[in-house]
């Protein structure tokens, strides 16, 4: 049995890009509206510390807390980009789906080779994901 994310495909980079787009857009709007000073999202620092391994909602909460920002939870069907935790989570989902549609995702070479060899040897394999999607 194999996990998809991080084992068979390099999905962390595409998720980090979608989070950066989401949070940087939010921060830019917040700066324009409040004239405040906020640090943009860092793939290198923020992604592993605040986002990776968390649910979308959990990642939004962690990022906002790291910047001293509080937003209402909102509703699960808040439009993407609405200034609620749900709205930002939905914005990230939209960004991720667009990235996947535009660029796709490829299996790691070693993972692909191993699965091809396992198939040729008639070994039974399964692929799983922890994602709710």
For residue range 62-91, what is the model confidence (pLDDT) as tens digits?
Answer: 999 999 999 999 999 999 989 999 999 999
CA distance 13 to 58: 19
The top-scoring range by mean pLDDT among 14-28, 32-46, 112-126 is: 14-28
Task: Select the more confidently predicted residue: 128 or 18.
Answer: 18
DSSP count for the chain of H helices, then E strands? 5, 2
For 81-116, letters b (16+ CB in 10 Å) and e give bbebbbbbbbbbeebbeebeeeeeeeeeeebeebbe
Whole-angstrom distance, CA of residue 62 vs CA of residue 65: 5
- The answer, as to whether pTM is greater than 0.85, is no
């Amino acid at each position: 049995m194999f996990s998809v994310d991080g084992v068979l495909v390099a999905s962390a980079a595409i998720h980090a890009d979608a989070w950066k787009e989401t949070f940087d857009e939010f921060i830019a709007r917040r700066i324009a509206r409040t004239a405040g000073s906020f640090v943009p999202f860092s793939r290198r620092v923020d992604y592993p510390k605040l986002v990776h391994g968390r649910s979308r909602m959990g990642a939004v909460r962690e990022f906002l807390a790291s910047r001293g920002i509080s937003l209402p939870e909102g509703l699960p069907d808040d439009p993407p980009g609405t200034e609620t935790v749900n709205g930002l989570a939905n914005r990230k989902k939209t960004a991720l789906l667009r990235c996947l549609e535009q660029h796709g995702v490829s299996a790691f070479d070693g993972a692909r080779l191993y699965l091809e060899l396992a198939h040729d040897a008639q070994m039974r394999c399964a692929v799983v994901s922890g994602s709710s999607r």
